[in-house]
Chains A and B, each alone.
Chain A
Amino acid sequence: MRIVIAEDDPLLREGLALLLRAEGLDVVATTDSPEPFLEAVDKHEPDVAIVDVRMPPTHTDEGIVAAVEARRRQPELAVLVLSAYVEQAFATDLLAGGAAKLGYLLKERVGRVEEFLVALHRVADGGTAIDPEVVGLLLARQRPESSLARLSPRERDVLALMAEGLGNTAIAEKLVVTEGAVHKHIRSIFAKLDLPPDDRADRRVTAVLRYLEAAR
């Protein structure tokens, strides 16, 4: 897997590169601001770009803008955005063009290397990785009278994991239930939320997030 990193903090940039290389991944370029990042993406055509949200010059949302631009130039590029804090607006901007090959994680998740690598691979393989924090934020904003209230606690757990981008097998593992049970829960959720009963990962996530957005 060929990776380009854009992160302005030198320590973090090098630490990330070190970690990924130690895992046998191919970090082809590390950059510290949007311009060199986009150049590196054009030059190396990587599989995955790992992008920090806050970068020079204004340290606000340069990373999001750069990620969206990189995707525009290379629609096949998988993008994993890392952020020091979750901001729902960033997630919404990112997901506007679909959730496939997209990730949005808190920076400290990188420290849980196994899970981070799983998320990285999932994104590279066309899936989605949304930070539980973001999902939690969206779920917490639901008013009690919204149709989410109709979900059972178990179904809410499943929904949250779905929104993170996990597949049925991973959800079953996390909740220690059978895949069949998860499948049943998902059908029930889709029915309660009037979502199309499509089971592909990115479509599921988009559908869930769109629904959460709309229900705000």
Chain B
Amino acid sequence: MTPVNLMDRARAAVDALERLVGGLGTAILAIGTLIWVAAVAVTSLIGVGLPFVHSAARAVRAAADRERARLSRWGPEIIEPDPLPPGLRAARDPVVWREFAWVVVHSTWGMVLGILGISLPLYAAQDLTFPLWWTLVPPGTGPGLVFWYVDGLFGALLVCLYGVFWLAVCVFGHPVLARVQAWPGRRLLAPPAGADLSLRVAQLTATRAAALDAHAAELRRIERSLHDGAQNRLVAVTVLLGAARRQVARDPEGAGELLERAQGAAEQALAELRTVVKTILPPVLDGRGLDGALKALTADSGVPCKLEIDLPGRCAASVEATAYFVVAEALTNITKHSRATSAKVSVSREKRNLRIRVEDDGRGGADEADGSGIKGIRRRVEAYDGTLTIQSPPGGPTTMWVELPCGS
């Protein structure tokens, strides 16, 4: 073996050690997750744990994402799965189950390998350096992995030789060990081969098409409201002004009346323009951010509305606009249909997702089929690859969850 080759080996071994330590870190995370999941599972049997099911699934996902990021640093990238389905449906997600299987394997087997990976080099170092400090320990006491009676300098040198053996084991064995530790993650956390990826592609294609549709619908809406609103008003202004000009000589009083009508029409045109502009991109979003815009929105709501907002930093403008409309539309629906006496809007950012929850204490029974409001919300949300869930049993209350990828 050439010296260069040996250097490569040593470097690979150090890399592997680093990986094993990192793996140990995620294994500890996995243990925590495992305990949490177990607690939720047991308490769910008597119903108490059910509200925590989603958070348990999130914990599994978080640990798995950590491992994905770690493995992606050391090898081929592992693509992250779709966002978690909201509520209890998260527990039925097959991806979550695969991730949970990884949690079990990694928190046990991965943990053992990690500990082994750290302790072997430590023992090897102990053994190698034993001749330097054998006099400090009482006779008969051996360093790590020495199971025989050690006595005298000769014995110490023998232990040193023994350390060389373990060092060799580390140099040649660690890369293998690290691979073995990573293997369950690579198998279980990668997207299942073939079918599911194509599903993801199909879904992306569909949402992209939906986005284009939503844009076209949006353009149509803007064109229609400009045409039916402001443009028609302005035409009326010119017609009335024309009539007034003709009238002015014959009947000044009548002309004055026409002019007043013309002015009214011009004012209407301005109002319509304001409305249209506001629905394209609410100026308040630009000025005060989603935070301030939602405050204004909930303050103006027809039903008393509480706002809980926790947003570090801003999202992409289109996402903020979508979030704003989701809340605006939801509040309009609540005011119009729910007969609620109070409502609550919660907005938070969780990693790359913007999460919105809108709830009310109304009569429930919100149906996507009969109101275009919810359908409109869903179209806008899905256009941004987000998810929408509504729970609205007859008699209420109604809760709506929306998750939007932030795009930043």
Contact = CB atoms under 8 A, between A and B. Distances in A.
Interface of A: 9, 11-12, 15-16, 18-19, 22-23, 54, 59, 84, 107-108, 110-114, 116
A107 to B, nearest CB: 4
5 contacts: A11-B265, A59-B227, A108-B234, A111-B239, A112-B242
Interface in B192-249: 224, 227-228, 231-243, 245-247
A24 to B, nearest CB: 11
B233 A19 contact: no
Nearest to A52: B232
Contacts of A113: 242-243, 245-246
A108 B243 contact: no
Nearest to B268: A11
A15 B236 contact: yes
B261 interface: yes
Interface residues of B, number: 24
B238 A108 contact: yes
A12 B262 CA distance: 11
A108 B265 CA distance: 14
A18 B241 CA distance: 12
A110 B235 contact: yes
B224 A12 contact: no
B228 A15 contact: no
A54 B227 contact: yes
Contact of A84 (B235, B239, B265, B268): B235
Contacts of B231: 84
Contact of A18 (B224, B237, B238, B243): B243
A116 B242 contact: yes
Interface in B378-400: none
Contacts of B235: 12, 84, 107-108, 110-111
Contacts, number: 63
Contacts of B247: 22
Contact of B239 (A19, A23, A59): A19
B232 A111 contact: no
Contacts of A23: 246
A84 B238 contact: no
Give 9 closest A-B pairs by Cβ, nearest first. Answer: A111-B238, A111-B242, A19-B243, A113-B242, A107-B235, A11-B236, A15-B239, A9-B232, A110-B239
A74 to B, nearest CB: 26
Given A12-B232, A84-B232, A110 B242 contact: yes
A54 to B, nearest CB: 7
A140 B332 CA distance: 48
A54 B245 CA distance: 28
Contacts of A22: 243, 246-247, 254
Interface in B29-80: none
A123 to B, nearest CB: 18
A126 B254 CA distance: 33
Contacts of B242: 19, 110-113, 116
A179 to B, nearest CB: 29
Contacts of A84: 227, 231-232, 235
A108 B231 CA distance: 10
Nearest to A15: B239
Given A9-B236, A12-B232, A22-B247, A111 B241 contact: yes
A5 to B, nearest CB: 12
